[in-house]
């Protein structure tokens, strides 16, 4: 299924499932609450998708505004240097354990929404990433059981203020400006993705492909990341894990490429949709 948070005009937020070129509205307004409701909510959504249960309403997909699928995650946990080629382009050693950092939840924004360049232009960069959305409370989870805790996947752009990131010697301020975590266009449920470790992942800027890789190149795979994180941090429904970006980011290009007003960024992940945002 492709689950969305959306609104029609100036109306309230709604949950829905995308079927062909329509959105079938579901009960509720909050994706975290929907995921926390567990299997029963997911089964009801599948019945709506299959036409076994009438939706609250139906809308043409191009008539709604898609929002970030999870508007208010409890946590955004990101992984640094998780593609070998990206580690090499930074001239850093291949990590022996996952490098964790946080993006504050106020950085969340949705598809087609603007990404706002801070006033003193801290060298804004793009990072195409596969995001994992947690579906069940997870604490001390084994690798063998980890995938049972995944609700699904979505494209994520780990927008980064490089000047702040490198000046601070840690990453939180440079990774967390408002609007610096676009996600969407929808949350594709785990059962609809045969293998999350075999997906083409690309970043296009103004139509030019600047990152082109595959999630098979992840150093630390999703089950290990959930196991590693949940050993010390309780994961809750709606929490987001950003699994890292491949090589080709702007700051390490020669000459560097930084985003400017009017630029359009597109994260394109095979089977998961295209996340498009513009800079202002």
**In CATH, what number is assigned to the domain containing residue 136?**
3.90.850.10
* Same domain (yes/no): 51, 93: no
Residue from 47, 2, 50 nearest 23 by CA: 2
Low-confidence ranges of the chain (pLDDT < 50): none
Same domain, 177 and 227: yes
Q: Do 205 and 87 lie in a common domain?
A: yes
* Domain endpoint, select from 25, 50, 67: 67
Same domain, 212 and 95: yes
| pTM score of the predicted model | 0.97
Q: Are residues 178 and 85 in the same domain?
A: yes
Domains in the chain: how many in total? 2
C-alpha distances in angstroms, 37 versus 44, 178, 188, 201, 239? 11, 29, 17, 31, 15
Q: Are residues 110 and 244 in the same domain?
A: yes
Return phi, psi of residue 53, to 5°. -130, 135
What tokens were used for 143?
């690798």
Structure tokens at 29: 């307004």
Residues 148 and 247 reside in one and the same domain: yes
Tell me, yes or no, whether 156 and 264 share the same domain.
yes
Residues 46 and 151 in one domain: no
Looking at residue 185, what is its pLDDT? 98
Q: Which of these three, 30, 50, 67, is where a domain ends?
A: 67
**Closest of 166, 1, 48, 181 to residue 109, by C-alpha:** 181
**Residue-level pLDDT at 141:** 98
Same domain flag for 178 and 252: yes
Q: What is the pLDDT of residue 90?
A: 79
Residue with tokens 């909510």: 41
φ, ψ of residue 276 in degrees (nearest 5): -115, 130
Domain boundary among 67, 85, 117: 67
Structural domain span for residue 21:
2-67
- In the three-class reduction of DSSP (H, G, I as helix; E, B as strand; rest coil), residue 274 is classed as strand
Shared domain for 174 and 37, answered yes or no, is no
- In sequence order, the 6+-apart residues with CB closer than 8 A to the CB of 119 are none
Residues 173 and 234 in one domain: yes
């Amino acid at each position: 299924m492709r689950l969305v948070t959306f609104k029609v005009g100036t109306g309230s937020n709604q949950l829905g499932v995308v079927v062909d070129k329509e959105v079938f509205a579901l009960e509720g307004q909050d994706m975290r609450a929907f995921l926390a409701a567990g299997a029963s909510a997911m089964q009801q959504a599948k019945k709506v998708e299959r036409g076994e249960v009438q939706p609250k309403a139906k809308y043409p997909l191009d008539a709604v505004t898609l929002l970030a699928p999870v508007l208010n995650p409890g946590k955004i946990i990101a992984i640094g240097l998780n593609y070998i080629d990206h580690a090499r382009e930074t001239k850093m050693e291949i990590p022996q354990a996952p490098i964790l950092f946080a993006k504050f939840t106020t950085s969340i924004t949705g598809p087609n929404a603007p990404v706002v360049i801070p006033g003193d232009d801290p060298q804004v960069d793009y990072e195409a990433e596969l995001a994992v959305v947690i579906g069940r409370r997870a604490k001390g989870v084994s690798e063998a059981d980890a995938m049972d805790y995944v609700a699904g996947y979505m494209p994520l752009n780990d927008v980064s203020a490089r000047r702040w990131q490198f000046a601070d010697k840690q990453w939180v301020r440079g990774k967390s400006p408002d609007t610096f975590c676009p996600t969407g266009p929808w949350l594709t449920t785990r059962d609809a993705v045969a293998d999350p470790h075999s997906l083409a992942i690309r970043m296009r800027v103004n139509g030019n492909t600047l990152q082109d890789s595959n999630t098979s190149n992840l150093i630390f795979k999703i089950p290990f990341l959930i196991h590693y994180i949940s050993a010390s941090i309780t994961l809750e429904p709606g929490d987001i894990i950003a699994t890292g970006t491949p090589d080709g980011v702007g700051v390490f290009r020669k000459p560097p490429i930084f985003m400017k007003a009017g630029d359009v960024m597109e994260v394109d992940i095979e089977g998961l949709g295209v996340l498009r945002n513009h800079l202002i």
